[in-house]
Amino acid sequence: MSKNSKEAIAILGVTSSIARALAEEFARDGHPLVLAARDLEEAETIGADIRVRCGVETAALELDAAHFDTHEAFVEECLEACGNKLGGVVLCYGFMDAQVKAEADFVIARRTIDVNFTSAVSILERFAEYFTERRSGFIAGISSVAGDRGRQSNYIYGSAKAGLTTYLAGLRNRMFHHGVHVITIKPGFVDTKMTFGLPNLFLVASPEQAAKAMYRAIVKRKNTAYVPWFWRYIMLIIRHVPDWQFKKMKM
């Protein structure tokens, strides 16, 4: 990344505390930022914070992942905001509600799929176009370990993330031939507002720890990064439990 080290980075869903910490990692390295969120006021506050702490320029833009028809214009705005010098984009936003709610109410199930998966296709294809033309840059997407295997307690969210994971794998393959790197990031449990107060969490990382690991993975051009790293092995085991046995388990 050293070649485009001062190019702007776009962070989508910056009101996530992981995203905020990740934005700060890029800012500390001197990158100007485009910070997008559906809550523009908060995005602006986060921008002010990063400007004071790191002295880089930031712009805040509104983005609602579920409003597909605004995405093309959003990507244009985003490029405009950084003077067409975008070095990379990180898709951080995501949506998770209680599994039982998503089972009972298709509106919630659909939002889970739309925000985590459909919107990624809608937005990242536009960014892919831009990076293809430039023949450089990166696209990072925050998926989840939940997408590695469907479990009764979380499979609607998990399947949307699985869709995102597969989508990013394909995009990586395609973009490789255009000099653009695509990375899939799969966090385990992180202490954010998505998980605050949930029971049965273990090995919980702080947003700052998670963001540091993500930043390193992006800089090192990893293809798939589990965050923290040990989730790779936890998921390896979980993926290898045979179905006849897995279906009997309560996970």
Partner 1 sequence: MIPSVKQPLSGWGRFPSEDCIVYRPEKRRELDTIFEESELPHFIARGLGRSYGDTAINGGGGVISFLRLNRMLSFDDEEGVLECEAGVSLAEIVETFLPRGWFLPVTPGTKFVTVGGAIANDVHGKNHHRDGTFGAHVLDLTLLTPKGKVMTCSPKSHEDVFWATVGGIGLTGLILTARVRLQRVESAYLRVDYRRLSDIHATLSAIQETDADYQYSVAWVDCLARGKSLGRSVLMLGNHASPGELGSRKGVPFKVRAKHKPGVPFDFPGLVLNPLSIKAFNAAFYAMHPTSQGKIIDYDTYFYPLDSIHNWNRIYGKRGFTQYQATFPVGHEEGLIGLLERLSAASCASFLAVLKRFGPQGPGLLSYPFEGYTLTLDIPIRAGLLAFLSDCDKHVLKHGGRLYLAKDVNTHPDVFAAMYPRLAEFRTVRRKVDPNSRLSSRMARRLRLAKDDKA
- Name the residues that contact ligand NAP, by CB under 6 A: 13, 15-18, 37-39, 63-66, 92-96, 115, 142, 144, 187, 189-190, 192-195
Question: What is the gyration radius of the CA atoms in the chain, in angstroms?
Answer: 18
Greatest alpha-carbon pair distance for the chain in Å reads 56
Q: How far is the CB of 190 from ligand NAP (least distance, A)?
A: 4
Q: How far is the CB of 37 from partner 1 (least distance, A)?
A: 10
Q: Which is nearer to partner 1, 125 or 191 (CB)?
A: 191
On the CB side of 19, CA atoms within 13 Å amount to 29
* Tokens matching residue 250: 């309560």
210 Cβ contact partners less than 8 Å away, ≥ 6 residues apart: 18, 21, 187, 190, 227, 228
118 binds partner 1 (CB under 8 A): no
Q: Which is nearer to ligand NAP, 82 or 123 (CB)?
A: 123
Annotate 182-220 with DSSP letters as a single string.
EEEEEE--B-STTTTT-SS--SPBPHHHHHHHHHHHHHT
Q: Which does 53 bind (CB under 5 to 8 A by kind): ligand NAP, partner 1, none?
A: partner 1
41 binds partner 1 (CB under 8 A): yes
Rounded Cα distance between 30 and 27, Å, is: 5
Q: Which is nearer to ligand NAP, 7 or 122 (CB)?
A: 122
Binding piece for partner 1, criterion CB under 8 A, among 40-48, 79-87, 133-141, 226-234: 40-48
CB 150 within 8 A of CB 158: yes
Q: Which position's Cβ is nearest ligand NAP?
A: 94
62 binds partner 1 (CB under 8 A): no
Rounded Cα distance between 179 and 136, Å, is: 5
Among residues 6, 85, 174, 193, the one that binds partner 1 under rule CB under 8 A:
193
DSSP 205: B
237 binds partner 1 (CB under 8 A): no
Rounded Cα distance between 90 and 124, Å, is: 10
Q: Which does 142 bind (CB under 5 to 8 A by kind): partner 1, ligand NAP, none?
A: ligand NAP
Q: Give the residue from 189, 186, 171 showing the smallest Cα distance to 224.
A: 186
Beta bridge partners of 8: 86
53 binds partner 1 (CB under 8 A): yes
Which residues in this chain contact partner 1 in the complex, by CB under 8 A? 15, 17, 39, 41-42, 45-46, 48-49, 52-53, 193, 196-197
